[in-house]
Chain A
């Protein structure tokens, strides 16, 4: 198992290096460089040139990359040009707020999605199954911003239970903090349930018809044990892969949801830095998203290996 973990970790590191090269390469290809952006469109060329020299922008690209990448390894992400603040604390706040959204949504998607999938599979072909299908499809078929608007209309404008947008820190009170989280989480969860529930349903239906489930029934085990211990454990394997992919999709989903709900997280930071051509912030933010994505997949691989002994050991003893 140690070997397996190390192999996967090496792979994650490789992916991050590749992503950092891509991010740096693409942002360097953009027409406007940092010196030009700092000094504004009407600065004289010699002044731009001087700043370029000072910032090292005339160095070969690989040297620039090395400076940037080694800075990141030391925890130095550079300075935001627009806010004139170091990026690291800025980014950190945004990450924490965004992860609050995504992790909560993710857990709810996992629990509700798997639960709905199992129920639909056990009631396979009956009205409850169809109801679950239609509802989850509706969630995935209509774009997130639409649901975000519906949530605002219903819960903020009509019922008045939730604030329509914004963010309050925990220090403002637990209930107030929670109120600001509920609406974006609902939107994210509804938009992602279908993947998990549909896949759990279909693999559960398949597993429930497998010989080993019949064999478990033939042993006279209680139905609860047959479903959870014998069927679900195996049926969850494909679901885990999709869950990990969904975590990545959630990171994309927050861009839309945070914008609609004016929630100051990673998504809004990304949009903001793109709109204002804040290149250092943009680079750091993209790298962070990629890292979260890679780590989510790494976690999925570990979980997968834990549930599936064939991967864990890989070869037979007899």
Chain B
């Protein structure tokens, strides 16, 4: 149905033309699902835009065709393209929070395609929109149809977007990371819905994702994209079970597995090549442990067994596994649990946010004014303890109160009630000025290194500032300290002169960790330290944090929405749900035999790349056998 042939896309940028796609060829068979998989910068979203003929004006296509049902959509005039979009090809975007127009009602956004493509009247479009909302599993479609986007949860918004995409009965549905912004339990529901819709409507889907576990549930075939090239393509289960291209091997090895306990994650060193001047040879060679002299020659996509692979050593590497090469130490990590006094003890901690106050809380019953403030209990009577050198993993969905808890512990947010002791010292109830010793003993690593590092400061200033602030070294020794800290997080010393924008995401997060370590803390709150990073980089950061714990004996409160990441580093796991800790226990126990129903749901919703297949389709197949 859709065939992309030899497509090259370049974006004009001030720094030169960036080649986002280089001679990419893909085929989506009618009625099947092709997943395009890759990390950020691989060009996967460009594939989606090209298939919709929606490339921005700064994009050029020096070569290639995008054939939809035999016609090249890149050659169509604007009018014909427009008629194709939304009517025969529909696109579901990544982030349901920004894709819906904030000032239009849901029904208008779901039904407007019908008005312009099928000539529906506004009333007919509205009633059809309600039917569609019903079809995508929205409980009260009439009310939702009248709602504005900000009144809906993320999952509901994504359902509404899917309903809008389906409105004009398209033959091809393109989904660009449709579940990335959602919690795992919601993600599982959306994937169920997509499988269901595909079975009922016989949809053809092009599914774009970085998450191999998600792809496994939904795709018949996979194409792995690296730096704008397809490096491996074939049937989903074959690729996931026996990857051939080194990049695919590395990507799979880097994924944290449920139930593997605290083992070292494999990671892929290095970063993407500069796509302004892509290397002529293998683009993965600089990061590849299997690279040989022949890798410097241009690589062709060749047929190897049941798939196509772009690697000159494909044949011989079929059975070779990705090496765990992230330094010498390997195997299970040291389990330290000293019986001494806990480094952190939190008891009865509560924090309620009042969303509307003063005049804003005034509402009317008829004409009678009433004060009705809206309150949210973000943290509700939480008690936790962390021993020195221990890692407590804190898991929960967005909005469960994890971040609020982490910040309240460090008094970055004022808790309403409860006692906090860090390193034996009371932290709660003191004025901020008296917290200076605590600020030295306890630090925080933030989720997004882009916004937590001041863009106008060099790494030396960023990491050196806490040392100066706490007078930990005479000013002459600060540069030496900074070098030592950079070495600790495995950044070369010359990075001290760089600004944040001159580093990759993983490198920035290393700087964030170095900054936290600068005060020689005994306890660090790691607030989603790897969620903003690609899988291959995430593994390296998790390993680094584990090593630092082993070498320095720092304790972490490791906050993450991804339970499989937490399982790799935590000694104990606490599960948070609606502001409360619903389950705490040793990591292996929580993972193996969860007790709380919410933990069970959370664990069963995680899409995996191995083990028994998940999801409706898999369940149906098992039933058929």
Contacts and interface: CB of A to CB of B under 8 A. Distances in A.
Given A212-B99, A217-B54, A310 B148 contact: yes
B147 to A, nearest CB: 6
A215 B93 contact: yes
B99 A215 contact: yes
A62 interface: no
Given A215-B93, A220-B113, A223-B82, 17 more contacts: A2-B364, A2-B367, A211-B93, A212-B101, A215-B101, A217-B85, A219-B116, A220-B83, A220-B86, A225-B116, A229-B104, A307-B103, A309-B103, A309-B150, A313-B151, A316-B151, A318-B151
10 nearest A-B pairs in the assembled complex, by CB-CB distance: A220-B85, A220-B86, A219-B86, A309-B148, A3-B364, A218-B91, A211-B98, A212-B101, A316-B151, A215-B99
Contacts of A31: none
Contacts of A211: 93, 95, 98-99
Nearest to A8: B359
A317 B147 contact: yes
Interface in B38-91: 52, 54, 81-87, 90-91
B348 interface: no
B82 A222 contact: yes
- How big is the B interface, by class? 35 or more
B426 to A, nearest CB: 37
A317 B152 CA distance: 7
Contacts of A6: 364
B119 interface: no
A308 interface: yes
Interface residues of A, number: 33
Nearest to B363: A3
B151 A220 contact: no
A3 B360 CA distance: 10
A214 B54 contact: yes
A7 B151 contact: no
Contacts of A307: 103
Interface string B329-372: 00000000000000000000000000110011011100101000
A315 B113 contact: no
What does DSSP make chain B's interface, helix, strand, loop or mixed?
mixed
24 contacts: A3-B364, A3-B369, A6-B364, A7-B362, A211-B93, A215-B91, A215-B93, A217-B85, A218-B91, A219-B86, A219-B112, A219-B113, A221-B82, A221-B86, A222-B116, A229-B104, A233-B103, A233-B104, A234-B103, A308-B103, A309-B103, A309-B150, A317-B151, A318-B151
Interface in B259-312: none
B47 to A, nearest CB: 14
Interface of A: 2-3, 6-7, 11, 210-212, 214-223, 225, 229-230, 233-234, 307-310, 313-318
A243 to B, nearest CB: 18
Contacts of A219: 85-86, 90, 112-113, 116, 164
A160 B103 CA distance: 49
A230 B101 contact: yes
B156 A318 contact: yes
A3 B367 CA distance: 8
Nearest to B94: A211
Interface of B: 52, 54, 81-87, 90-91, 93, 95, 98-104, 112-113, 116-117, 143-144, 147-148, 150-153, 156, 161, 164, 355-356, 359-360, 362-364, 367, 369, 374
Contact of B90 (A216, A218, A225): A218
Nearest to A7: B359
Given A221-B112, A309-B102, A316-B151, A3 B362 contact: yes
Select the residue from A218, A219, A317 with max chain B CB neighbours within 10 A: A218
A277 B104 CA distance: 54
Nearest to A231: B101
A229 B83 CA distance: 18
Contacts of B374: 315
Contacts of A315: 355-356, 374
A316 B369 CA distance: 20
B150 A310 contact: yes
Nearest to A221: B116
A67 B54 CA distance: 69
A314 B356 contact: yes
B364 A220 contact: no
A121 B151 CA distance: 30
Contacts of A216: 101
B148 A218 contact: no
Given A220-B87, A220-B117, A309-B148, A234 B82 contact: no
A219 B362 CA distance: 40
Contacts of A218: 52, 54, 85-86, 90-91, 93
B359 A234 contact: no
A210 B83 CA distance: 22
Nearest to B365: A3
Contacts of B116: 219-222, 225
A6 B363 CA distance: 10
Nearest to B100: A212
A6 B359 CA distance: 11
Contacts of B85: 217-220
Contacts of B164: 219
A111 to B, nearest CB: 21
A84 B363 CA distance: 49
Given A3-B364, A218-B86, A234 B102 contact: yes
Nearest to B116: A221
Contacts of B117: 220
Contacts of B148: 309-310, 313
B370 to A, nearest CB: 10
A74 to B, nearest CB: 27
Nearest to A229: B104
Nearest to A1: B364
A229 B102 CA distance: 12
A61 to B, nearest CB: 31
> Considering residues A212, A220, A308, which has the most beta carbons from chain B within 10 angstroms of its beta carbon?
A220
Nearest to B355: A315
Contacts of A223: 82
